[in-house]
């Protein structure tokens, strides 16, 4: 599971399995750390042109990208 797009699954996964690590300067992207295996996940809004950013998705990213985008 590398992408979660269902709103219910996304919110459940975040609230039960993750720790919020950082928020991007724009405020649109949030970095999470999965507690069980230290995997990084980013919550983003790929349809940012839609009102309110559209539906969010949660994508698994590697540590290098987390460092590059969030300086963690």
The 10s digit of each residue's pLDDT in 27-71 is: 899 999 999 999 999 999 987 677 767 899 999 999 999 999 999
Q: What is the pLDDT of residue 1?
A: 57
Could you list the residue range(s) of the whole structural domain that residue 23 is in? 3-70
Tokens in use for 55?
Answer: 């539906």
Domain count, the chain: 1
Arithmetic mean of pLDDT, 1-26:
94
The alpha carbon of residue 44 and the mean position of all alpha carbons in its chain are separated, in whole angstroms, by 6
**For the whole model, what pTM was predicted?**
0.90
Q: Is the Cα torsion angle 18, 20, 24, 30 positive or negative in sign?
A: positive
Q: What is the pLDDT of residue 34?
A: 98
β-bridge pairing 40-44 and 30-34: antiparallel
Q: What is the pLDDT of residue 29?
A: 95
């Amino acid at each position: 599971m590398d992408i979660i797009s269902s709103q219910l699954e996304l919110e459940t996964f975040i609230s039960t399995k993750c720790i919020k690590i950082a928020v991007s300067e724009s405020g649109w992207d949030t970095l999470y750390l999965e507690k069980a295996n230290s995997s990084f996940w980013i919550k983003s809004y790929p349809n940012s042109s839609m009102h309110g950013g559209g539906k969010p998705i949660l994508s698994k990213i590697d540590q290098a990208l987390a460092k590059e985008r969030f300086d963690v």
